[in-house]
Amino acid sequence: MEAKHLIDLDQLSPGELDEIIRLAQKIHSNPSAYMDRCHGRIMATLFYEPSTRTQMSFQTAMLRLGGQIIGFDNPSNSSVSKGESLQDTVRIVSGYADILVIRNPLEGSAYAASLYSRCPVINAGDGGHLHPTQTLTDVVTLSMELGRLDHLTIGLCGDMKNGRTVHSLIKCLSKYPGNRFVMISTPELRIPEYIEDVLRESGCTYEFRDTLEEAIGELDVLYMTRIQGERFASRAEYERQKGVYILDTQRLKLAKPTLKILHPLPRVDEIEQEVDYDPRAKYFEQAEYGMYARMALILKMIGQKYPPAKKIENEQGGHCTNPRCVTQSEGYLPKLYCEHGDVKECRYCNAKI
Residues that bind ligand NCD (CB under 6 A): 53-54, 125, 131, 134, 164-165, 225-226, 228, 264-265
Residue 54 or 89 having the CB closest to ligand NCD = 54
Residue 241 or 318 having the CB closest to ligand NCD = 241
Residue 284 or 332 having the CB closest to ligand NCD = 284
Q: Cβ of residue 272: shortest distance to ligand NCD, in angstroms?
A: 17
Q: Cβ of residue 242: shortest distance to ligand NCD, in angstroms?
A: 13
Residue 158 or 318 having the CB closest to ligand NCD = 158
Q: Cβ of residue 225: shortest distance to ligand NCD, in angstroms?
A: 6
**256 close to 297: Cβ distance less than 8 angstroms:** no
Q: Cβ of residue 337: shortest distance to ligand NCD, in angstroms?
A: 25
Residue 164 or 171 having the CB closest to ligand NCD = 164
Q: Cβ of residue 53: shortest distance to ligand NCD, in angstroms?
A: 4
Residue 108 or 264 having the CB closest to ligand NCD = 264
